[in-house]
Chain A
Amino acid sequence: MTKEAAISFAGWGYRRPLRKDYVVKGLNLEICKGERVLLLGSSGIGKSTLLCAIAGVLGNNESYAAPASQREDEDGGVTEGDLLVEGLHPQDARGRCALMMQDPEAQMVLQRVGDNVAFGLENLGIERKEIWRRVRESLKRVGLGSVELSRSTSHLSGGQKQRVALAGAIAMRPSILLLDEPTANLDPKGAREVSRACHEVLKENPATVVLVEHRADDWLDILDRVVILGRGEDGLAKVAADGSPDEIFSDPSIDFDSLGIWIPSKFALAKLQRKRLEEQIRIKAESDRDPGSLAPGGPQSLVDRGSGKNLIAPSVKFAKKREFEKGEVVLEARNLSIGYNGKSIADGVSCAFESGKITILAGENGAGKSTLAMTVSGLMAPVGGEVRVSDDLASGLKGSPFSWTSRQLCKRIAYVFQNPEHQFVRNTVLEEVMVGFLETGSGKEEARYLAHSLLKRFDLDKYSQANPYTLSGGEKRRLTVASSLASSPEVLVLDEPTFGQDRSTWLEIVMLMRSVADSGVAVVAVTHDKELIEFLSDKVVTIGTEDDCSIKVKGPEERKEGRKPSALSPILSRLNPAIRFLCAFLLSIPLFLSLDPLSAGVALALEFVFMEGCGISLKQAFRHAWPILAMAPWTFLAVVIYGKKGSVTYFAWGMIHITNKSVYLAFATFLRVLAIAVPAVLLVLGIDSTDLADAASQILHLPERFVYGGLAGIRLFTVLSDDWLQIGQARRSRGLGDRKRAVRFFTQSFSLLILSIRRSTSLSTAMEARGFGSGQRRTCARQSRTSYRDWVALVICAAIPTSALILAFYCGTFALGGK
């Protein structure tokens, strides 16, 4: 059967910037039109790279015109060989492919649901009416037909976000749909939603599909081909297996284990795989328990290997710090209420965590698992009830963990965050681990020695001088566990430790948790990973809204969400946002001409009248402009004592001169600060950034690339606020939360910058995959309008300062630059 090729790789390869080795090299693969292909292979084999390449978003402006066999793009990546997408170079075929990535957050480009789906269509230059027709249709297709277009994406669950991304992809009517682990970051319910939506979408759609997914169970019936990528002995990428799903998954000659692949449970081989896995974990656990064992990774190794005994203080030994009794309750929630900002999401929570055991907190995303875990580990304040700790764990401390200092906390309870990057605090892997030892009282040399042995145990010693951020996903995870253990806590809490990991990393983490628990630590894992629960748990606590859950929470309120008010009053909100900015400028800037109490006072009075006319009462105005009112007296004071000197001096001391003129000017400045700043704040408060961007591009004709690039960045602001909170909590759990505020501010800002750069990289890939910046003329789904009201507002805003200034001129108080 000869079918037309949709995608063809010929001797294709790609090398990331600064890397010596190619991710993929010498790949030959052809995918025909209409085929539905599952792409498998161990992590690091370059599956995501292939999808990005097909979508044409791998590196900017690759100079493909050059005939050279190796081409470097602007981002420093090197491509070789050929790749054709429907006969075109991938960058020219951008509109034909739609890419859906694994991180739901990264694909939400704009604030509102509808705008997100419309984004790709705008970039394709589709006409406005058609855009909204397709937006509604696509949302319906993915089962989100009842969600308002104006709903904020930050109020969606992960599964809903992924479906919005899918809707955005199919709305572009692509002939090739690329799905990069679309359910890897979701809980089982979200994953089901997304795969069901994909099934629905693909039923009558003739598109070619390339899917990357570690767990294929939910996808089998839409797939007709499975390609397993491997690496040959020569280092070249090769197709290790290729065939129908039935052929592949029933072929015992394929080594699924080392490829990191879960065999779908409907195939007979799956059972064998699970047996092998159980065996592996059992052997591991036994070797750990054997006290004579010096096997690398054994919990005893750190202590036993210590050559200089004096180096290891008894308090910092990692394993078996004391004879623990397995099953002793160390931490307990009693009738606890958990929640945010004093609002509880669950009451009467009682559960206990025992030493040497692994307790799993399971349940859907957003049900409150992490909130519970954070509350018992002293990172969030309990809303009510009690977190009790055993006398051993408290060792002299009183109160609940939340009342302990950061340093006291890190010796007792450690929390490993879901995103490892939230908790990195140092520039090298070694220092990262040393922190824990240093904070618990070790000297520098001792800490170094201990850190090295701990790193060896985690097989990270070879990276001791590397920057933590440069490690791979699995390595980062191991490092965060290692650095949390450095302060030898008795409770270790892990948030989604296996999230988005392939099978080999998964196994690594599972074994790690087992051996930590066997050394006497109470391990708590927050997860919804079925396999993790199956293979590891000594005890499962489920949290959710359903009746069979051991802890019941109030479900999140299903809310109807209209558009948010975009100004302090309805009249203002009807003005165009760009005009509102102009109004603020017109009102305030002319006042700089004169510094006198009369013009400033008159302008201020007129402004209040104007505000009143717009429906903002004086009280409202003061409430929203309080920061200015709080600052103005200081400015007044500064001018009084340091301002320009007049003829009569009331008081003089060193640099300070209080004179008749300085008092007069201070009075004028005080009024003018208010006259300038108050309307400048009131007029722009509440402006929706999407509306502002539309106005900036349509009314002010600013370049779209910058406007919408900036807008996408602004959406990150809310995400960054969450990041900031988590970075702070991570620092507290690592014993660094007691530092001075200024130090905390700077170090946290640094972590935030790195995180935001990471986020921006995936965000810009998502935007490019939707055709942004392709050079095609863009349409705008939302029309930014101006009406007569805008012009009236502009005229009034110009008239207020002008009349105040004219009045001052005639009364003789006008003073250019304060004379």
Chain B
Amino acid sequence: MCSVIGVASSFVFWMADFIPHDGLQAIFPGLGSLLDGLWLFAGPLAAIIIRKPGSSIYAQLLASLIEGMMGNVYGGALTVLSGFIQGLGAEVIFAAFAYRHWNVWITMLAGGFSGLLYRMVSFLTDLQAFSLLGLYALSYTVATTISGILIAGLGSWYLYRAIARTGALDRFASGRAIRRKIK
């Protein structure tokens, strides 16, 4: 099940790879990154549905593995590493709440932290040419984090609720919780 969220997400990631992200980025710093959350949602989404330790990392990793094998602009195999870091970011937050609390705020936090962690690591690796505390890096990081909070956090939460309403998640405690409420 977790795999399937990963796979379906990878499809979305891969489609999203066609967005001229870096072009936008050059035009105005942070503009392209406002969409970064599109590549981050698999982790938080899997976690709030499955609610088991490790699901964030697993889903995000699998999604990026497939994305990488399909070939993309971000360097095949390396996509897997970013996937791991992104998944880790979300996982850490859910773990901090001992996998016991599941609500929109924590999910937004997880999405945001996933973005923040990933962007910070990226400044230590492929974006070394920018000064870490410069305006560019700052706006970039802030944009990714906001995008993570909104798209990967808030977005995943509403996505999860919408999916649960279709009855597709009745096998999961998370899905049943939503469906009971609306009855």
Q: Name A's B-contacting residues (CB within 8 A).
A: 16-18, 75-76, 427, 467-470, 581, 584-585, 588-589, 592, 595, 624, 627-628, 630-631, 634-635, 637-639, 641-645, 655, 662, 665-666, 668-669, 672-673, 676-678, 680-685, 687, 689, 706, 709-710, 712-714, 716-717, 720-721, 724, 745, 749-750, 752-754, 756-761, 763-764, 817-818
Most chain A Cβ neighbours within 10 Å, of B71, B162, B169: B71
Residues A469 and B3 in contact in the complex (CB < 8 Å), given A634-B25, A644-B129, A680-B76: no
In the assembly, what is the distance between CA of A450 and CA of B172, in Å? Answer: 37
In the assembly, what is the distance between CA of A496 and CA of B128, in Å? Answer: 57
| Cβ B22 vs Cβ A818 within 8 A | no
Residues A595 and B129 in contact in the complex (CB < 8 Å), given A584-B78, A713-B4: yes
| Cβ A76 vs Cβ B7 within 8 A | no
12 residue pairs A–B, Cβ–Cβ below 8 Å: A18-B176, A75-B172, A467-B165, A589-B81, A634-B20, A638-B26, A638-B29, A685-B69, A717-B66, A750-B159, A764-B1, A817-B124
Q: Verify if B2 is at the interface (C-beta below 8 Å from A).
A: yes
Residues A627 and B6 in contact in the complex (CB < 8 Å), given A467-B167, A669-B129: no
Closest CB in chain B relative to A671 CB, distance in Å? 12
Residues of A within 8 A of B171 (CB): 17, 75-76, 761
Classify chain B: how many residues form its interface, as a range: 35 or more
| Cβ A631 vs Cβ B129 within 8 A | no
| Cβ B23 vs Cβ A634 within 8 A | yes
| Cβ A470 vs Cβ B167 within 8 A | yes
Select one of A76, A467, A595 contacting B128, CB under 8 A.
A595
Task: Type the 1/0 row for B118-136, where 1 means its CB is closer than 8 Å to any CB of A.
Answer: 0000001110111100111
Select one of A644, A645, A676, A720 contacting B11, CB under 8 A.
A720
| Cβ B75 vs Cβ A641 within 8 A | no
Residues of B within 8 A of A709 (CB): 2-3
The chain B residue with its CB closest to the CB of A668 is B129
| Cβ A592 vs Cβ B75 within 8 A | no
Most chain A Cβ neighbours within 10 Å, of B163, B171, B173: B171
Select one of B65, B76, B159, B165 contacting A685, CB under 8 A.
B76
Residues of A within 8 A of B169 (CB): 757
| Cβ A756 vs Cβ B7 within 8 A | yes
Q: Verify if B96 is at the interface (C-beta below 8 Å from A).
A: no
Closest CB in chain A relative to B114 CB, distance in Å? 19
| Cβ B15 vs Cβ A684 within 8 A | no
Q: Verify if B10 is at the interface (C-beta below 8 Å from A).
A: yes
Q: Verify if B87 is at the interface (C-beta below 8 Å from A).
A: no
Residues of A within 8 A of B5 (CB): 753, 756-757
Q: Verify if B95 is at the interface (C-beta below 8 Å from A).
A: no
Residues of B within 8 A of A427 (CB): 162, 165
| Cβ B71 vs Cβ A685 within 8 A | yes
Residues A581 and B77 in contact in the complex (CB < 8 Å), given A717-B7, A757-B1: yes
| Cβ A756 vs Cβ B4 within 8 A | yes
In the assembly, what is the distance between CA of A761 and CA of B171, in Å? Answer: 9
In the assembly, what is the distance between CA of A756 and CA of B75, in Å? Answer: 27
Residues of B within 8 A of A637 (CB): 26
| Cβ A643 vs Cβ B173 within 8 A | no
Chain B, range 19-37, C-beta contacts under 8 Å to A: 20, 22-23, 25-26, 29
The chain A residue with its CB closest to the CB of B58 is A706
Closest CB in chain A relative to B4 CB, distance in Å? 4
Select one of A17, A665, A673 contacting B126, CB under 8 A.
A673
| Cβ B26 vs Cβ A17 within 8 A | no
Residues of A within 8 A of B168 (CB): 469, 754, 757-758, 761
| Cβ A634 vs Cβ B26 within 8 A | yes
In the assembly, what is the distance between CA of A80 and CA of B12, in Å? Answer: 42
In the assembly, what is the distance between CA of A683 and CA of B69, in Å? Answer: 10
Select one of A643, A680, A717 contacting B130, CB under 8 A.
A643
Closest CB in chain B relative to A506 CB, distance in Å? 24
Select one of A687, A716, A750 contacting B69, CB under 8 A.
A687
In the assembly, what is the distance between CA of A720 and CA of B131, in Å? Answer: 42
| Cβ B128 vs Cβ A818 within 8 A | yes
